[in-house]
Amino acid sequence: MGKGFAITSDLNLRNILLSGYERHTRRPDDEDEPSSKRRKLFALPKLKIAAITNDAVATLASLAYAVKSLPNSRVAMGIIVGTGCNATILMKLSSLHETKANHVKSKDSEAVETVINTEWTLAGSAPPLKELDIITKWDIELDRACARPGFQPFEYLTGGRYIGELIRLILFDYLTNVRGLASKELPANLVQEYALTTTYISDNVARARSDLELADVLNHSLPSPESSEWQWDAVCAGAFRKIARTVQKRAAGLIAAAVVGLLACANEIELKVESTENSPQPSSAASPEHNGGADVTAVTNFLSPSTSKVSTNAQRGNGPIVPVLSPTPTPADWQSGPEELVVAYTGGIIQHYPNFKNMCQQFIDRLIMRTGPQKSGKSVFLREVSDGGVIGAGVLAGMVANR
C-alpha cells in the first residue's frame, strides 16, 4: 500500500480507510438525522479492519489455507499475471538484510520467516534483459511511448496492459513495411495506441483454429475503413496469429524464468552456477539493429526465449549479469521421495489467455530439468486460485482475529 507515494512514518492506514468508508456511505442530506436513525435506514455492516494485504500475498495465503499441507506438498509462492505481473514468496529472515529482519522480529521475536511481496523489476533493472537480447526494437518503441519509460521493464514484456500494444506495434510494422500497406488502409485499432487490447487478442486471435477462420472473424470485428479496399486474408491473419503466439510464448518463458529464479533466491531449489564457457554465443541476427523489417519468421525467432543471446558486454570481458545454469550432481537423498512446491497463481492473463498457463508450466519444467535432479526430488507446479484476493484477505483477517 502506498507504492509510489511519499508517506509519513506515522500513517494510520486503518483509520483512513474506516473514515473513507464512513464518509462515502452517508448521504449529505441526512446529516441532520440522528445517528441511530441513519443506521436503521442504511443498515450497513459495521466495518472492522483486521488486516491489510495486496493481491499477491492474499493469493498465496488463500491456496496455503485451501491445500492441506502434506510432507511432499506445500505452497511456496504466489504470482499475479494479469494487467500487471508480480509475486510474493516466503523467505527465511536469515536471507534478508538485518534491518528488514529486525523489523519482523520486533513484531514476533520467535519469527524465522516472513512473506515477501515483490515487484519483478523497477527502474534500472533492464540490463539483464538487454544482455540476453530479449529487448527488441518494438519493446524499445513501446517503452519510449509509456508514461514512465523504463519504470517496470519486465511488466512491459509480460503484463496484460502491454501485450496487446506490443502485438499491435509488431503487426503494424509487418503490414506497412512488409505488405506495403498505408496506415490509412488499416483498421483504426491497429493505428491507434493501446486500441488493440490483450482481451480482444485472447478472445479472438488466440482461439482461432485456422488462418482462414481468423480472417473471417477479423473482417467482422476489426474491419478496415470504408474508404479502404484492403481486407483481411489468410496470409495477414496468419501473421497476426504467429506474432500473437510468439509474444505469448516469450511472456510465458520470462514468467517461468522469474518464478524459478525467485524460488532459488529463497533457497527452495538449487541452481548451479558456472563460468561463461557454455554460454550461448552472440549473434547479430537477433539484435534489433539487424532486424529492420518485420518478416514474421524473423519475428518468431527474434522474440522466442529459446534464442536469447549474451550481449556484447560479455564479449568485452565484463562477464554476464545473468549466470549460466548447468546441471547439478544427483543429490544423495534422491530416493527419499519427491516434494512438490506449489506456486499459486491468479490473474486474467494466466487464467484466461488460451494455453498461457500450460506454456508457463512447460518452461518451468524445462528449467528445473536443465539444472539436474533437485534435493528431495523437488518439482514446481502452478495451481490456480480463483478469487484468491478475496479469500486470502479473509484468511489473514481470521488469523489476526484469533490472536
Section 156-184 average pLDDT: 96
| Burial degree of 91 (CB within 10 A; 0-12, 13-18, 19+) | buried
Helix/strand/coil for 33? coil
Helix/strand/coil for 268? coil
Dihedral of the CA atoms 219, 220, 225, 227 (nearest 10)?
Answer: 80
Instruction: Please state the pTM of the whole predicted model.
Output: 0.77
CB proximity list for 257: less than 8 A, separation 6 or greater: 305, 363, 367
Tell me which residue has cell 518478416: 295
For residues 393 and 50, what is the distance between their CA atoms, to the nearest angstrom? 10
CB proximity list for 115: less than 8 A, separation 6 or greater: 57, 60, 61, 88, 89, 90, 91
For residues 78 and 91, what is the distance between their CA atoms, to the nearest angstrom? 13
165 is written with which cell numbers?
A: 500494444
- The pLDDT value given to residue 277: 47
CB proximity list for 63: less than 8 A, separation 6 or greater: 75, 78, 342, 344, 383, 385, 388
Helix/strand/coil for 229? coil
Q: Which of 59-68, 255-264, 302-311 has the highest mean pLDDT?
A: 255-264
How many beta carbons lie within 10 A of that of residue 345, not counting itself?
28
Q: Going along 54-151, which residue ranges are E strands?
A: 73-81, 85-92, 113-119
- The pLDDT value given to residue 70: 63
Tell me which residue has cell 501473421: 239
The DSSP code sequence of 291-318 is --S--HHHHHHHH-GGG----HHHHTTS
Residue 377 has pLDDT above 50, yes or no: yes
pLDDT tens digits, residue range 23-48?
666 655 555 556 665 555 555 677 77
pLDDT tens digits, residue range 323-353?
555 554 545 544 456 788 999 999 999 999 9
109 is written with which cell numbers?
A: 521475536
Residue 174 has pLDDT above 70, yes or no: yes
232 is written with which cell numbers?
A: 483481411
